[in-house]
Structure formats: C-alpha cells, structure tokens
C-alpha cells in the first residue's frame, strides 16, 4: 500500500513521531540525534528523545513522517544543513553550496522492516523534497551509504536518490529546486 500523505514533524503531530520511534524495531536508541547534538554519544535514549522533541516544540525542522491513513509508517530526516551541528566540521559530508544558499540535508530514513521494499523510501524522499522547497530550500543534498563511503544503510541507497531526481556530485547527491 502506498503512502497517503507525507507531513513535516511539528508540535501538532509529535505524538505520531513518538509513536513511530517508540515502536518495536524503530530507532528509539538514537532518536535521529547523532548529527544534531554535540555530545550525543553521552546521552541516554530518553535524553535524546527529549532533546529531539524540544527541537520539534521550538519549531526547528527535523524531518517528515509518511502516513497510511492516520498511521505513521515511515520517517525521513530532512532539515536545514545548519541545524545539524556536527555537519559544520564534517570531512565526509562537507558543505558544497555557498553559505548563503539555503541547503537542506537528508541524513536518515526509517521504514519498519515488514514494510521495506514497497517504495516507501522514495515516497518519503519525494515528500521531503516538496516540503523543503515549500520552506525555502534552494538545494537538497543527501549522502547515500553506497556512494558516500558511509556504512550506515539508514542513509538510503543512491538508486532512491536518483529516482527522485538527485544528481551525484562527488560523495553527495543533490537536487536544485
């Protein structure tokens, strides 16, 4: 079954975000915070959750949820590059766009294991790009695990980025909006 909606995570739907991340097999151990918080490795899962929810409550973009009806069934971490604190000094994911170009970065996907292989990741990425465009992004970049030299498969595969219209530029894939 396909997604019926892709929505930005906001204070209004944060309960859906919590529900998806708290489910069995979900990334409740990291809460998608490793690149967002300096010192993240010293935090407990609960502290990571609280830090991420505080960002949501302050209106900081953190990502999108994919829905089937009212149920959240997938996640894509997409946000302005500068909101990922650890990207400022990253050697594996250096900034390629000038500082004055609004650049959003995709760093993570989560689709529950039973739902993988249904095309949800591409639908999440398409929705995430749409929302980034609506929020003023000029470029969206991503670092798929198979081309960026990063072993974490939650970053997505280059075939998904290519299908969404991204073009490879060194290690990163980007789409100009």
Q: What is the total count of domains within the chain?
A: 1
pLDDT digits (tens, 9 = 90+) for 123-157: 999 999 999 999 999 999 999 987 766 666 688 89
- The string of pLDDT tens digits covering residues 65-103 is 999 999 999 999 999 999 999 999 998 899 999 999 999
DSSP 6: E
**Cα-based angle 72, 36, 52 (whole degrees, multiple of 5):** 45
Containing structural domain, residue 44: 5-176
Question: How far apart are the C-alpha atoms of 170 and 137, rounded to whole Å?
Answer: 21
CATH number of the CATH domain containing 84: 3.40.630.30
The pLDDT > 70 percentage for the chain reads 96
Instruction: Output the six-digit token pair for 70.
Output: 């009212």
- Block residue for tokens 């909101």: 83
pTM: 0.93
């Amino acid at each position: 079954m396909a997604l019926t909606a892709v929505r930005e995570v906001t204070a209004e739907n944060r309960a859906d975000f919590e529900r998806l991340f708290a489910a069995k097999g979900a990334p409740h151990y990291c809460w998608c915070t490793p690149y967002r918080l300096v010192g993240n490795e010293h935090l407990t899962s609960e502290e990571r959750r609280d830090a991420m929810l505080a960002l949501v409550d302050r209106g900081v973009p953190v990502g999108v949820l994919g829905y089937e009806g009212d149920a959240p069934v997938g996640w894509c971490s997409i946000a302005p590059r500068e909101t990922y604190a650890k990207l400022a000094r990253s050697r594996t994911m250096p900034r390629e766009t000038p500082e004055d170009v609004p650049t959003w970065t995709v760093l993570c996907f989560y689709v529950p294991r039973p739902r993988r292989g249904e095309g949800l990741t591409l639908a999440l990425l398409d929705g995430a790009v749409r929302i980034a465009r609506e929020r003023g992004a000029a470029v969206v970049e991503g670092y798929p695990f198979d081309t960026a030299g990063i072993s974490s498969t939650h970053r997505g595969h280059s075939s998904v980025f290519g299908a969404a219209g991204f073009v490879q530029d060194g290690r990163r894939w980007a789409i100009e909006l």
